[in-house]
């Protein structure tokens, strides 16, 4: 979501994102003309009339599970966003927890007091 129009989003998806992520980003981009939603999330820069770059992963229960806010000169990683969404979906479905960089099929852990001092045996950086 940004203060850009839906037409700008369409061009961005077709001309840029589709070349960075195979098939483009698999979710719709929304226009926040006037920055009302950006104000709610604390990312609207009123003087510039734009939302500061941020991303929020919000689960089906409307809980913010992750957020990242960056200034324009630092790029974001769409593949990491998609990886995190998959990890949050896995966590919700199984109750397991995932390490940094986790991808489907990689080891996970079931939270338990018995894990103290043993996590390193499963998760290796």
24-83: pLDDT as tens digits: 778 788 899 999 999 999 999 999 999 998 889 999 999 999 999 988 888 888 889 999
Cβ partners under 8 Å of residue 28, min gap 6 = none
Q: Does the pLDDT at position 90 exceed 90?
A: yes
CATH number listed for the domain at residues 6-75: 3.40.30.10
What pLDDT was estimated at residue 40? 94
Distance CA(44)–CA(16), nearest Å, equals 24
Task: Place 94 in a pLDDT band, splitting at 50, 70 and 90.
Answer: very high
Residue whose pair of structure tokens reads 């990886």 in the numeric block:
83
CA distance 22 to 18: 6
Q: Answer for the pair 36, 46: CB distance below 8 angstroms, yes or no.
A: no
The residue that leads in pLDDT, 63 or 99, is 63
Average pLDDT, the chain: 89
Q: Map out the domains of the chain as residue ranges.
A: 6-75, 81-121
- Backbone φ/ψ region at 112: left (φ over 0), alpha (ψ -120 to 50), beta: beta
């Amino acid at each position: 979501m940004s203060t850009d129009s839906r037409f700008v989003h369409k061009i961005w998806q077709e001309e840029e994102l589709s070349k960075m992520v195979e098939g483009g980003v698999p979710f719709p981009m929304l226009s926040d003309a006037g920055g009302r939603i950006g104000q709610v999330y604390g990312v609207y820069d009123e003087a510039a009339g734009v939302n500061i770059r941020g991303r929020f992963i919000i689960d089906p229960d409307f809980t913010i599970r992750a957020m990242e806010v960056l200034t324009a000169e630092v790029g974001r990683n769409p593949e990491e966003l998609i990886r995190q969404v998959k990890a949050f979906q896995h966590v919700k479905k199984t109750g397991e927890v995932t390490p940094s960089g986790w991808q489907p099929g990689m080891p996970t852990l079931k939270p338990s007091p018995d894990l103290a001092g043993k996590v390193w045996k499963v998760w290796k950086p």
